[in-house]
A and B are shown apart, each in its own frame.
Chain A
Amino acid sequence: MPGGRRCPDCDSTELVEDSHYSQSQLVCSDCGCVITEGVLTTTFADEGHLREVTYSQSTGENEQVSRSQQRGLRRVRDLCRVLQLPSTFEDTAVAYYQQAYRHSGIRAARLQKKEVLVGCCVLITCRQHNWPLTMGTICTLIYADLDVFSGTYMQIVKLLGLDVPSLCLADLVKTYCSSFRLFQASPSVPAKYVEDKEKMLSRTLQLVELANETWLVTGRHPLPVITAATFLAWQSLQPSGRLTCSLARFCKLANVDLPYPATSRLQELLAVLLQMAEQLAWLQILKLNKRSVVKHIGDLLQHRHTLVRKAFRDGTAEMEACEREVQGQRQGEEEVGDSSLDLPVRKRPASPALLLPPCMLKPPKQLRPTPPVCTVTGDENISDSEIEQYLRTPEEVRDFQRAQAAGQAAKSLPNP
């Protein structure tokens, strides 16, 4: 190779520029002596940049993958790192994303959907490893609406044929409770509000289990129940100082958002606790209400299994018995118009209440009177008059057209 250089060993002019594992070297073709070496890193065609090329770019692994898919995979990895998930989760989530991308419906979807798909893959991975991640959290992280997210999530579960286990309630309680800023005194949290984490966790878990047993969790979003349970647990551990604090204030102190249904979950949980309290001899005489029962939550939780069994009878058998009873009564006297389920509770307040979901305990809605079963064959004659009633007369048509034209004219007038 011309250039005036000679091999230092054999003085040959036959020098060849060769690359050894992407490192360029000037080699003597006679004796094999390496005269100069280039840098191991390569530069772009525009040498002025002198930038390093990453491994993924120098190998061919991304050549088959479209740019939007690459972007999505990067987002999946970033999301996993933000959530501080174990590294195995990252690989699984990436695999799900790639699997989803093989379907033409996903490839052709809008960017918004692809963005939401990132969240779906991470959520499915977490669910399958029993990592408690709520959809609300994912939606806030990827700036998506819950309804858009839900559509994509249901679609992708069906498309990939995945088996996604339910959210693990116990783990969710632990992670959610740990996020409450009540375990250390701070300017916003007075000393009497500070609580021990372990005690609060165990009591919250017990309260959530109680809620689950008494039909307060099925069919409802799990988070508000846990918020209400955490609040009650916190209050009951030191009732003297904390009864004055409301749920909203509690959440503000703890730096946690108050979910809207939490107040009604709180009321339902207190009602259950009151029912249980009526079965404890030393609490019966105290005539507790929703505020005072908080002081005795510790006792109630200690004996919760027996109390639930005693306080509530099986809803199903009782419902049929009640209905028969009410029917018998109805034959005799006039009914005030209450539900058959409400009646025994009101007439005999001391007896056990029905263990039913709250939606079944409410009085049934006034059903629209079912129209009489008219035997329609579908082939009846349709009278002309019946059809005429739906048609406009020529005068009405003219009036309507005139009104429409006037409306259009008014709209087209420029605003003053």
Chain B
Amino acid sequence: MEEEETYLEFYLDQCTAQDEVVPPRSPPFSPVTSYDVYIPNPSNPEMAFSSHLKDKETSGDFSSVDLSFLPDELTQENKDETVNGSKDEVEKTCKTQSHQSQLPLPKEQDIDLGLNGSGLSSSQSHLHPDDADSVQPSPEKPTSDPLPLASVASMKPMTPVSECSGIVPQLQNIVSTVNLACKLDLKKIALHAKNAEYNPKRFAAVIMRIREPRTTALIFSSGKMVCTGAKSEEQSRLAARKYARVVQKLGFPARFLDFKIQNMVGSCDVRFPIRLEGLVLTHQQFSSYEPELFPGLIYRMVKPRIVLLIFVSGKVVLTGAKERSEIYEAFENIYPILKGFKKA
């Protein structure tokens, strides 16, 4: 068919271009290239073809395209590199590649990505009705079939439920930073704001608190601000915006730039006692257990880079995450290890 001919020409053109140019997209871990196709390994020219193709065609209907040349390993690679199908994760990757997507790029990041996110999620929900539970995803569940509109894409089998722990860590604290981009007079803020404390001899920042969401902020004279105490990423963002608004009302030209989550802390309970001495023997390159100093075992997981505090009662604290999915992934990694130490 002539459609195929055009696509084939396209592919061949792209292939020659591919050889010298590194594909502009793809942080290696992120499968999302354009907003509705998962291509895990775009260095593979065949994949790149699809991604580039998607780039050119906004709403291409690919049902007629013969994609049988795609290797079977597509599913395996997707499984290895696939990340959690959490909404936040997808939103974030969308955000990092927003300059490549066709959606309008927000000038400042204070215009929320909700537009992109909702657009994305709607397409996602259309394509993945079984993945609707994006609030607490299990990382062992596969994210999606890679080419939703293509007939050839093979589905990964869902991992059986017995492999999942069934326990979801609860987020306890989120630390985020934002740049208000204006010099602040801390004395004036401390004078005019009821919820502020400022003791320059002790600490060079104003400590401000709001009731809803219950958080604390450290506001520095350079205009940078740290917001702590929120229980979710959205709450942290809302709280940071409220602090910025307070500063605005005090007469400073505060903006809301570079909001970034710096740390997330989660905790959960496996509900059985753990032999910490045994764990430190088998995993000594990751664990540090000094009962003379601290009753818990400090486990430094390499992938994802999370620090876990494991206690004899079975309670686990996970910290050091920049993403919610890292916490979930870390817990799913540690749970089988802990189960191995269930019987004394």
A contact residues vs B (CB 8 Å cutoff): 134-136, 146, 150, 153-154, 157, 163, 165-167, 213, 215, 217-222, 314-316, 319, 355-357, 359-360, 370-371, 376-380, 382, 386-392, 396-397, 400-401
Contact = CB atoms under 8 A, between A and B. Distances in A.
A378 B312 contact: no
Contacts of B112: 377-379
A391 B288 contact: no
A376 B273 contact: no
Contact of B232 (A135, A167, A356, A376): A376
A215 B241 contact: no
A135 B191 contact: no
B242 A386 contact: yes
Interface in B288-344: 288-296, 311-314, 342-344
Contacts of B234: 376-378
A135 B238 CA distance: 46
A154 B288 contact: yes
A223 B235 CA distance: 45
Contacts of B210: 390
Given A315-B272, A357-B313, A379-B114, A392 B245 contact: no
Contact of A356 (B245, B246, B250, B273): B273
B271 interface: yes
Rank and list the top 6 A-B pairs by shortest CB-CB distance, nearest first.
A378-B237, A378-B234, A219-B295, A219-B312, A316-B272, A376-B234
Given A153-B290, A378-B237, 14 more contacts: A134-B292, A135-B292, A146-B293, A150-B293, A153-B293, A215-B312, A221-B292, A316-B342, A316-B343, A360-B314, A370-B170, A378-B236, A379-B238, A386-B212
B312 to A, nearest CB: 4
Interface centre among B293, B294, B295 (most CB of A within 10 A): B293
B273 A315 contact: yes
B173 to A, nearest CB: 14
A316 B342 CA distance: 8
A355 B344 contact: yes
Nearest to B195: A390
Identify the interface centre among B170, B213, B249, B273: most chain A CB within 10 Å of its CB: B273
A376 B235 contact: yes
26 contacts: A146-B293, A150-B293, A153-B293, A165-B284, A166-B281, A167-B292, A213-B344, A215-B344, A220-B295, A315-B273, A316-B272, A319-B271, A319-B272, A355-B344, A357-B313, A359-B311, A360-B273, A377-B234, A378-B237, A378-B241, A379-B237, A379-B238, A386-B212, A388-B249, A390-B246, A396-B194
B276 interface: yes
Contacts of A319: 271-272
Contacts of B291: 167, 217-222
A387 B272 CA distance: 46
B260 interface: no
Given A134-B292, A378-B112, A378-B237, A218 B277 contact: yes
A163 B284 CA distance: 7
A378 B192 contact: no
Contact of A219 (B213, B271, B276, B281): B276
B162 interface: no
Given A157-B288, A213-B344, A391-B246, A218 B276 contact: yes
Contacts of B284: 163, 165
Contacts of B314: 360
A377 B245 contact: no
B275 interface: yes
B271 A382 contact: no
B192 A392 contact: yes
Interface string B202-223: 0000000010110000000000
B314 to A, nearest CB: 7
A390 B238 contact: no
Contact of B191 (A215, A377, A397): A397
Contact of B238 (A154, A166, A220, A380): A380
B282 interface: no
A210 B140 CA distance: 41
A152 B16 CA distance: 57
B215 to A, nearest CB: 12
Contacts of A379: 112, 114, 237-238
B217 to A, nearest CB: 11
A378 B233 contact: yes
B190 to A, nearest CB: 10
B149 to A, nearest CB: 29
Given A316-B272, A316-B342, A377-B234, A222 B193 contact: no
Contact of B273 (A157, A163, A316): A316
Nearest to B278: A218
Contacts of A401: 191
Contacts of B271: 316, 319
B227 to A, nearest CB: 12
A221 B291 CA distance: 5
